[in-house]
């Protein structure tokens, strides 16, 4: 998203009207992300809010809809419409992806996938969906590198996310943890992408799985079927 994106929430504990421009320094966006995380927002929700893809009020409205008994599909469609409205304001340039984007990382993927008992094809599909195999990828919420590790997750895993091999190893280990914790591939992928707390809310029917996450899941499952 470009700098013309709608303004962002500065700190989650402040009134909704307290915002900071997308042109503000990254430290301000990180502060917003930390505040939202402390209030229990999922990593996916934080990323959408801080990037400007969704205003915080839209995320809160969807939460309230589900809490009031509205079908998750209805809340998801509401969020889809909000995303579509935001996307009409900014059209990012197409991304050119090499024919074999995972090629430079094959050795690391195969080795660490074997160590942690994860299918290498799944690792490649997750890496493609998370970062498009870009070691320098950064999300507005602060996710880093190939498998988009958050700083807090990196600290828990004891890895430096700016070092490619540590990022890959940590991402694979974290994915293995979600697979073991949730047991169902779809649920584990939701947990990896949006956080375990959001995954539990989704599984229990307390959160909608809106279009961005559905596309993420569909992309990974489609790639696994073609391998």
Residue 19 and residue 130 share a domain:
no
Residue 26 and residue 132 share a domain:
no
Residue 125 and residue 72 share a domain:
no
Tally of domains in the chain:
2
Residue 159 and residue 209 share a domain:
yes
Euclidean distance between the first and the last CA atom of the chain, given in angstroms as a whole number: 32
**Residue 9 β-bridge partners:** 19
* Catalytic pick among 87, 130, 156, 169: 130
- Give CA–CA dist 225/53, Å, rounded: 30
Residue 77 and residue 129 share a domain:
no
- Give CA–CA dist 43/79, Å, rounded: 16
Residue 190 and residue 81 share a domain:
no
Contact 51, 141 (CB under 8 A): yes
CA distances from 115 to 40, 170, 221 (A): 32, 12, 23
pTM of structure: 0.64
Q: Is-catalytic flag, 130?
A: yes
90: left (phi over 0), alpha (psi -120 to 50) or beta: beta
Residue 57 and residue 122 share a domain:
no
> In terms of residue numbers, what domain contains 196?
103-226
- Give CA–CA dist 112/159, Å, rounded: 14
Residue 130 and residue 59 share a domain:
no
- Give CA–CA dist 83/139, Å, rounded: 17
- Give CA–CA dist 143/136, Å, rounded: 10
Measuring CA to CA, which residue among 22, 208, 10, 220 is closest to residue 121?
220
Give me the torsion for CA of 75, 201, 183, 166, rounded to 10°: 100
Tens digit of pLDDT at every position of the chain (227 positions):
332 232 233 223 333 333 333 444 566 666 676 667 767 777 777 877 776 767 777 777 777 767 777 677 777 777 777 766 665 555 444 444 444 565 678 999 999 999 999 999 999 999 999 999 999 999 888 899 999 999 999 999 999 999 999 999 999 999 999 999 999 999 999 999 988 999 999 999 988 887 778 889 999 999 898 87
Condensed to tens digits (0 to 9), the pLDDT of residues 88-137 reads 555 444 444 444 565 678 999 999 999 999 999 999 999 999 999 999 99
3-state secondary structure of 122: helix
């Amino acid at each position: 998203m470009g700098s013309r994106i709608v303004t962002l929430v500065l700190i989650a504990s402040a009134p909704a009207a307290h915002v900071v421009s997308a042109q503000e320094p990254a430290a301000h966006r990180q502060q917003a992300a930390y505040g939202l995380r402390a209030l229990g927002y999922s990593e996916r929700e934080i990323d959408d809010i801080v990037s400007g893809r969704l205003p915080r009020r839209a995320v809160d409205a969807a939460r309230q809809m589900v809490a009031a008994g509205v079908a998750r599909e209805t809340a998801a469609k509401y969020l889809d419409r909000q995303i579509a409205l935001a996307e009409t304001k900014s059209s990012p340039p197409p991304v050119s992806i090499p024919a074999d984007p995972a090629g430079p990382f094959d050795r690391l993927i195969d080795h660490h996938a074997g160590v942690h008992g994860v299918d290498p094809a799944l690792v490649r599909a997750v890496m493609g969906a998370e970062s498009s195999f870009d070691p320098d990828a950064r999300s507005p919420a602060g996710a880093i590198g190939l498998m988009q590790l958050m700083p807090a997750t990196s600290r828990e895993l004891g890895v430096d996310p700016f070092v490619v091999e540590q990022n890959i190893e940590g991402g694979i280990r974290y994915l293995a943890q979600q697979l073991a914790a949730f047991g169902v591939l779809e649920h584990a992928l939701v947990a990896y992408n949006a956080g375990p707390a959001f995954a539990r809310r989704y599984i229990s029917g307390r959160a909608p799985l809106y279009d961005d996450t559905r596309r993420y899941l569909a992309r990974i499952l489609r790639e696994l079927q073609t391998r």
